Chain A
């Protein structure tokens, strides 16, 4: 379907640059900070940033399927590969990355999962897009772009060319 709006990869890379600057500042102060991306979109964004920020630890990847608060209309959410967190979480500053922050439930689940790995010193939330419609008191610390959308509209990252499109759900 044709998107309502499409942001091309050039536009999106300006958002990514906007994220990169404050995160680079964090890493200068705390070189042991580690990046964790939430599958799948957050991992794509995380990879992009990880390549440019070059922290000491590899990129962690979270599959939050087992931490969601809903089984959804299709049962157990599709398992998109197991979580990989190849570093200790205890006492570490975690930079948690996702493509879109909407209701906040995904981030809530991700934080629960991180705490099952250990006790982080701090979590900084970095998202490519923060949209309207939050249902939990969760806000991002680092934002690439902010947008207001209706509840019928949804936004998604196209990983192939790192573009972003806004679509509308059919009634």
Chain B
């Protein structure tokens, strides 16, 4: 039998958020709508609500990331949760303690929610399948597979500026092969009915059979940008140069970089997006990253609201499940008594 999706509990409600694949347009839209509410909270003097008061959220990061970890930490604190930062990059796991053993140790700390970032694709699925019942898991990025909260905050940003997805042409440029952000963005755009999703990059940075994800490959970036409403850059990692995948950052910028001239080929109100941190002069020109069409900093801001939404929804579903099971138990006991 194929494995059931661990994201959903026995009542069919979202209990873990690890992969945009598996959620339909209605569920994704619900997250975006909920995030709208939290966006309002972040504009007030008191930027917090008591939803997760008394809960402990643990950031369990097996891979370095100050940026994502800080965003999750802030989101948890704005929900009035207590936050625990567990840095496992240089801990016993690297000494050979298995991921499962690490998980058991962390469960003994009695946290309510784990935010996990790990270097292997499938790590979040594994954790969601093996974590003790009652702990919610949010995927902060697993290998090259998925970074679902980034995908959602990108969608939130696009929706805020552009409204309906059906008419939009989105262009994603760069290292799609190694990018969990690209996979999450593509999955979300396709599920939300985006008009057209184009991918651009050298073959060495395209995954096998990429069109099966629902995108169209454009070998020529200039042609790809014509008619673009949204342009999403991706981070090019230095190790791509070391692994003979692309020759140099200079060549990449000359042929795939988002320069001001290239930006001008897109629609005049096209959004410029990037998950950060940007390599200026490699993926994107500095003045484009800082220019009027760039929403890169906004993405970071919306990331807080989107994460607050995700955490509240899954916590709420688990609380509801607990309440239902408790009342079923009580009913069963009273009938058998």
Is A–B contact present in the complex under a CB 8 A cutoff? yes
Query: In the complex, which residue of chain B has the Cβ closest to the Cβ of A65?
Result: B37
B319 at the interface (CB under 8 A from A): yes
- Name the B residues within 8 Å of A71 (CB-CB): 315-316, 319-320, 323
Interface residues of A in 100-157 (CB under 8 A from B): 112-113, 115-118
Q: Are A118 and B45 in contact (CB under 8 A)?
A: yes
22 contacts between A and B (CB under 8 A): A63-B37, A66-B41, A66-B49, A67-B49, A71-B319, A72-B323, A75-B13, A75-B313, A75-B316, A75-B319, A76-B312, A76-B316, A79-B34, A81-B36, A82-B41, A84-B40, A115-B46, A116-B44, A116-B45, A116-B46, A116-B48, A117-B46
A81 to B39, CA, bound (A): 11
Interface residues of B in 16-47 (CB under 8 A from A): 33-34, 36-41, 44-46
Apart from A72-B316, A79-B33, A116-B46, what 12 extra A-B contacts exist at CB < 8 Å?
A63-B37, A66-B51, A67-B51, A71-B315, A73-B323, A75-B317, A76-B313, A76-B315, A76-B316, A79-B37, A116-B44, A116-B45
A74 at the interface (CB under 8 A from B): yes
A75 to B309, CA, bound (A): 12
A83 at the interface (CB under 8 A from B): yes
Query: In the complex, which residue of chain A has the Cβ closest to the Cβ of B33?
Result: A79
A74 to B51, CA, bound (A): 15
B324 at the interface (CB under 8 A from A): yes
A146 to B315, CA, bound (A): 37
Interface residues of B in 92-143 (CB under 8 A from A): none
B292 at the interface (CB under 8 A from A): no
A151 to B44, CA, bound (A): 37
B50 at the interface (CB under 8 A from A): yes
- Name the A residues within 8 Å of B13 (CB-CB): 75
CB of A117 to closest CB in B, whole Å = 6
Q: Are B40 and A83 in contact (CB under 8 A)?
A: yes
Can you list, as one digit per residue, whether each of A43-66 has a CB less than 8 Å from chain B (1) or not (0)? 000000000000000000001011
- Name the B residues within 8 Å of A72 (CB-CB): 316, 320, 323
- Name the A residues within 8 Å of B44 (CB-CB): 116-117
A73 to B13, CA, bound (A): 12
For chain A, which range describes its interface: under 10, 10 to 19, 20 to 34, or 35 or more residues? 20 to 34
A77 to B49, CA, bound (A): 14
Query: In the complex, which residue of chain A has the Cβ closest to the Cβ of B320?
Result: A75
Contact A73:B33 (CB < 8 A) given known A66-B50, A66-B312: no
Contact of B50 among A67, A77, A83, A118 (CB under 8 A): A67
- Name the B residues within 8 Å of A65 (CB-CB): 37
Query: In the complex, which residue of chain B has the Cβ closest to the Cβ of A75?
Result: B316
- Name the A residues within 8 Å of B313 (CB-CB): 75-76
- Name the A residues within 8 Å of B34 (CB-CB): 76, 79
* Top 9 A-B pairs, shortest CB-CB distance: A76-B316, A75-B316, A82-B40, A116-B46, A66-B49, A71-B319, A75-B317, A75-B320, A82-B37
- Name the A residues within 8 Å of B49 (CB-CB): 66-67, 113, 116
A76 to B315, CA, bound (A): 8
CB of B36 to closest CB in A, whole Å = 5
Q: Which residue, of A73, A79, A115, has the highest number of chain B Cβ atoms within 10 A?
A: A79
Interface residues of B in 175-221 (CB under 8 A from A): none
- Name the B residues within 8 Å of A63 (CB-CB): 37
- Name the B residues within 8 Å of A117 (CB-CB): 44-46
A77 to B273, CA, bound (A): 32
Interface residues of B in 285-337 (CB under 8 A from A): 312-313, 315-317, 319-320, 323-324
- Name the A residues within 8 Å of B320 (CB-CB): 71-75
Query: In the complex, which residue of chain B has the Cβ closest to the Cβ of A118?
Result: B45
CB of B114 to closest CB in A, whole Å = 19
Contact A82:B36 (CB < 8 A) given known A76-B312, A116-B49: yes
